[in-house]
A and B are shown apart, each in its own frame.
Chain A
Amino acid sequence: MKKASIIMIIGSLLLLGLFKFPLWNIMLGAPQYPDPLGMNIHIDGIKGVSEFDLQNIDGLNHYIGMKTIPKAEEMWEFSVFPKVILGMALLGVIIGLLGYLNKVSYKYFLGWFVLMSVLGILGMYDFNNWLADYGGNLDPHAIIKVTNPDGSPMSYKPPLIGFKKLLNFDVTSLPHTGGYLMFIGMSFTLIAFWLGRKMSLKKTTS
């Protein structure tokens, strides 16, 4: 149980990587942009991959009527996400410590994982909603209006994950270092649960 608890603590602490590294990354390449423009989505705001990328993305997007990339203070998510992540990391550490002292059972580890997964899915859902609004809620006076074959306005929503071609841009959306650290951390807590369970089963059978 001690080993499992240590893994639980390490797994929870890996969440803190999100305070340093981006959760997600969206890159936009085009014939005119052999060095693609890019945005890194941190839990506390969106930053350009290079110094002027956000300004340049906004500059291009004004042609098709997209809103500018929101500043941190313009979205409640960027003030709530850091608190949620910090809270979850702390909670995980506390559960791990209590597990170490045999005050709680390994089942709490799974409980933490499930809670984190639910929050994660909610976060992704919210993020996807934002992407849909960002890419689809266009200025009716946009300079360039592109319609789908059925006459509806084309959406410039970047993919939640993966690759998509949007006019002349190749858009790639993937988790970044902070996101990967979070996934690894979450799987650590799952391993902690599995280890804890194995140990406790061993104890009961022996």
Chain B
Amino acid sequence: MKNILTSSIAMLVILLGFTGCNNGNQSGGKSGALSNNIAEKVYVAPGEYDSHYAFISGGYSGNITVYGLPSGRMFKEIPVFSQFATSGYGYSEETKPMLNTSHGFVPWGDSHHPDISQSKGELDGRWVFINENNTPRIARISLTTFETEEIIEVPNSAGNHSSSFVTENTEYVVAGTRFSVPIPQRDMPIKDYKGNFQGALSFISVAPETGNMDIKFQVLMPGFNYDLSHPGRGKSHGWFFFTTYNTEEASTLLEVNASQNDKDFIAAVNWKKIEEYVNNGGGKMMPANYAHNLYDEHTHTATSTIKKEVRVVNPIDVPGAVYFIPTPKSPHGCDVDPSGEYIVGNGKLSANLTVHSFTKMLDAIEKEKFAGEAYGIPILNFEDVLAGVVEQPGLGPLHTEFDGKGNAYTTFFISSEVVKWKIGTWEVIDRKPTYYSVGHLTIPGGNSGKPQGKYMFAMNKITKDRYLPTGPEMEHSAQLYDISGDKMELLLDFPTHGEPHYAAAMEASIIKEQSQKIYKLADNKHPYAAKSDADTKVVRDGNEVHIYMTTIRSHFSPDNIEGVKVGDKVYFHVTNLEQDFDVPHGFAVLGQNNSELLIMPGQTKSSVWEPKQVGVWPFYCTDFCSALHQEMQGYIRVSAADSDVPIKWSLGEDIE
């Protein structure tokens, strides 16, 4: 009897225990995320760091945004091709030259495809490059300062879209043209496009130490649209592959007229061969007009140089350098697997996904098995080069990335999904929806021989109902997936800024350690820097007034300035004397037709003010820098144009 009682109580306890568990599960919510511990996979506890950096193109914002993965938090917007009032980029005297072009000052850009520099086929985290589509340019951004250091304009190009992808040792950053144009530009009827327009593929060399860019040569190709590109790697290092559309060479209603050919091409370019040709004096210098803008970290100032010629190469002059591989239906993305063997042509109007073999391509070239030629460039046979076809994986394939474990992931714009398939067997393994109409996808280490295949994120073009509504205009949405298992698992949905096209991502370790905290004041070589209170002064030079000003918590020096007149051009050269991490000071003066300045510790920035009204006008620090930030203010007296108030300045005492 006693035993029965004991065991009954034991049973009861166990049952209660189960009930307790059940209750616990229910109170955990019905969300699939919580019950599957998905939330834990993206949760980065306060004070902890994300495991990956993502550099996401801002599209029509012209910039790059820096995100953390897996949290999907945005850390910074790096101004690149657009004026950025937040920091004064493109407004300050120092950074205006960054946006100079052969067309003059261009305040805006359309940034597309970031790509991180590589050494030996692996991401080295030194720089990220990005292309500007509209006024063709390539930018190089430092991943120690997270600032744009260099922008080079690409002449003979238009719609700089098949860019800015780097070769496996960052020998070149490559820029192709989406819109073919007359080369050189000239006044001619548009209807004479066919046979007269050309497409330039630009190989921009990158200096190994400084990263400085220089256009080594441009290959002048037939007038197709060169849509996207990727470098060969490993066995195919030395080659570059570009998708084309509009091989019909239509100049109007392209949505119909450029969709007629059953197959367009992937252009395979042996850049090593052309490089050798050029090094031996091949090609010719042609007159050109393009800007090369370089920012110096020590003078904190950019300079813009207009270059007057560029080396061009006619592909027919370099036998064996360029071939066309037929690829179905206006291929968009052109993606090379980590081994360098497979080249995926994402035929956006095709139901199938075409994969070419590099080995087979070399074989066909060696045996000279050509189907014909286009403008003197040999065309290979589709079947001779074909490695395999992924049959009917979805609708509207755009881009493919790889996980380094033998799998590929392709985005499908029309059916709004990511499809995982196996390289070699070409079978579909998994598919997951995206929200909605996905463009690019990114796997950290994407364009390299060593993808870091833990996460994948899809960047979508359409948001609709994903977030709280914000009127007609919304940020785009992105989804993060865990790809460590057989099946992809949706982890997170996060908004992205502007229109993200591609994104480059990598594990955080390298970049995190090298990220700079301050600029050393001792290294500041700005010609108008005031490195201490003793250097501050106000100098009149005709109708220009130069104010050498310093900031430190919590005052400007000088903070009382007199002797400025209506009609003067007043330069505030503001040096931040702080040498402490994350203590910027801001500067703004009432009524200035300019942005503020946000000056990092050790930096000098200059803002021009042309006062139009007599009065005493305040200026102040715009960044809540310290407990006495509100007191960080000053006055500048503006007198009539014909007045004789002398230039004087002070700090801490009245101007006598």
A residues sitting closer than 8 Å to B (CB atoms) are 35, 51-52, 55-56, 59, 63, 143-144
| Cβ contact within 8 Å between A56 and B580 | yes
A95 to B579, CA, bound (A): 49
- Excluding A59-B553, A59-B578, A63-B627, 14 further A-B contacts by CB distance (< 8 Å) are A35-B581, A51-B579, A52-B518, A52-B579, A52-B580, A55-B579, A55-B580, A56-B579, A56-B580, A59-B552, A59-B580, A63-B628, A143-B628, A144-B627
Chain A residue with the shortest CB-CB distance to B581? A35
A38 to B578, CA, bound (A): 17
| B578 cross-chain contacts in A, Cβ below 8 A | 59
Report the interface size for chain B: residues with CB under 8 A from the other chain.
9
A55 to B579, CA, bound (A): 8
A66 to B235, CA, bound (A): 66
Min CB distance A21 to B, Å, is 25
| B579 cross-chain contacts in A, Cβ below 8 A | 51-52, 55-56
Min CB distance B550 to A, Å, is 13
B residues sitting closer than 8 Å to A (CB atoms) are 518, 552-553, 578-581, 627-628
A-B contact pairs, 17 of them (CB 8 A): A35-B581, A51-B579, A52-B518, A52-B579, A52-B580, A55-B579, A55-B580, A56-B579, A56-B580, A59-B552, A59-B553, A59-B578, A59-B580, A63-B627, A63-B628, A143-B628, A144-B627
Chain B residue with the shortest CB-CB distance to A35? B581
| A143 cross-chain contacts in B, Cβ below 8 A | 628
A144 to B628, CA, bound (A): 10
| A52 cross-chain contacts in B, Cβ below 8 A | 518, 579-580
| B628 cross-chain contacts in A, Cβ below 8 A | 63, 143
| A55 cross-chain contacts in B, Cβ below 8 A | 579-580
Min CB distance B9 to A, Å, is 53
Min CB distance B555 to A, Å, is 11
| A35 cross-chain contacts in B, Cβ below 8 A | 581
A144 to B580, CA, bound (A): 21
| A51 cross-chain contacts in B, Cβ below 8 A | 579
A81 to B207, CA, bound (A): 52
A55 to B578, CA, bound (A): 9
A59 to B554, CA, bound (A): 10
A35 to B628, CA, bound (A): 23
Min CB distance A66 to B, Å, is 15
A143 to B578, CA, bound (A): 19
| B580 cross-chain contacts in A, Cβ below 8 A | 52, 55-56, 59
| B581 cross-chain contacts in A, Cβ below 8 A | 35
| A144 cross-chain contacts in B, Cβ below 8 A | 627
A143 to B579, CA, bound (A): 21
A144 to B627, CA, bound (A): 10
Min CB distance A141 to B, Å, is 11
Min CB distance B536 to A, Å, is 17
A34 to B578, CA, bound (A): 18
Min CB distance A198 to B, Å, is 54
| A63 cross-chain contacts in B, Cβ below 8 A | 627-628
A59 to B579, CA, bound (A): 10
| A56 cross-chain contacts in B, Cβ below 8 A | 579-580
A129 to B552, CA, bound (A): 31
Q: Considering residues A35, A59, A63, A144, which has the most beta carbons from chain B within 10 angstroms of its beta carbon?
A: A59
Min CB distance B444 to A, Å, is 27
A51 to B581, CA, bound (A): 12
A82 to B579, CA, bound (A): 31
Chain A residue with the shortest CB-CB distance to B553? A59
